Amino acid sequence: MSYMLLIVEPTEQREERGEFAGRAVYDRMLKYRAGLQSRGQLIAAESLSPVKKGVRLEKRDGQTRLIDGPFAEAKEMVGGFFLLNVDTYEEALALAKECPAAEWCTIEIRKVAPCYEY
């Protein structure tokens, strides 16, 4: 079974932190990732660029629209993710509690499931 940890952070947090502190935070996340990998609990993990560098695509009635970031309404962004190979929610929760990002972000735990599953 797979669970995803979504790292949700304030949109301006990285800029406010600055590069030196940001590199220290990133190093902690890389160590966490390496631990998951060594135990066979990691399928994939990535950090994402800030939302202001993103693009949104919408397709309605055959018309495609692209919207460049930053998005005025966005107060939070998905800053990264960990896709876990674990058997239970309890295991995913325990790993989320170990994640350093919980100290400065919100970690959303989601089971990987079909879009029609409630």
Residue 61 has a pLDDT of 97
Residue 57 is encoded by which pair of tokens?
């695509």
Instruction: Tell which residue, 78, 98, 88, has the closest CA to residue 33.
Output: 98
Domains of the chain: 2-111 (3.30.70.1060)
For the chain, list residues with pLDDT below 70. Answer: none
Q: Which helix (H) or strand (E) holds 95?
A: helix 89-98
Residue 10 has a pLDDT of 95
Taking CA 27 as the corner, what is the angle to CA 21 and CA 28, rounded to the nearest 5 degrees? 95
Residue 77 is encoded by which pair of tokens?
């962004």
Residue 118 has a pLDDT of 81
Residue 108 has a pLDDT of 98
Residue 71 has a pLDDT of 83
Give the SS3 label for residue 54.
Answer: coil
C-alpha torsion sign, points 56, 76, 95, 98: positive
Residue 74 has a pLDDT of 84
